[in-house]
Copies of this chain bind each other. A is one copy, B any other.
Amino acid sequence: MAENLDATDWAILAELQRDGRVALTELGRRVSLSASAATDRLRRLESLGVITGYRADIDLTKVGYPVLAVVRLKYPGSRHEPLHRLLERRQEVLECLRTTGEDCYTLKVAAGSMAHLERLVDELARFGSTTTNVVYSQTLPYRGPGTPPDEGRP
């Protein structure tokens, strides 16, 4: 499962997490490689499934979703399909983590207003009891690790 990445691969991954649209020529320059060598490595990372895609980061406030919240859902039943269908239909649900513990799901949702958030939570509450926390601020932008775990001294 560990795909045996060397330091150059990690440098490429780091660069692409910082600037996912960088030109291949420039990418090679940044990791001290020719453009074609960097491209070979990038294509390999893509075909191995290490890189699963590229996406633009959007300022949710500027597109009309200024309210961010974490909703935890305690779902007593075992039939999860109806919930999953709702989550897929509702684009306001940004992330859905199924976890251990009392609260089976931890969701990150965006809303246009408190009234909007209230409606979303009501809809989710049809499936179980919810706990909602509004987000003041998101300290870190989403990012990923830049080096292997180094389990000897993690």
B-contacting residues of A (Cβ < 8 Å)?
1-3, 5, 13, 16-21, 48-66, 68-70, 84, 87-88, 91-101, 103, 106, 108, 110-113, 115-116, 119-120, 131, 133-151, 154
Answer whether A21 and B93 are a contact pair too, CB < 8 Å, given A62-B49, A116-B154.
no
A-B contact list, 12 entries, CB within 8 Å: A13-B63, A20-B21, A52-B141, A87-B139, A87-B140, A91-B147, A94-B143, A94-B144, A101-B131, A116-B151, A116-B154, A120-B154
Answer whether A149 and B113 are a contact pair too, CB < 8 Å, given A55-B20, A144-B60.
yes
Report chain B residues within 8 Å CB of A99: 69-70, 133-136
Please pick, from B55, B115, B148, B149, the residue contacting A55 in the complex, using a CB distance under 8 A: B55
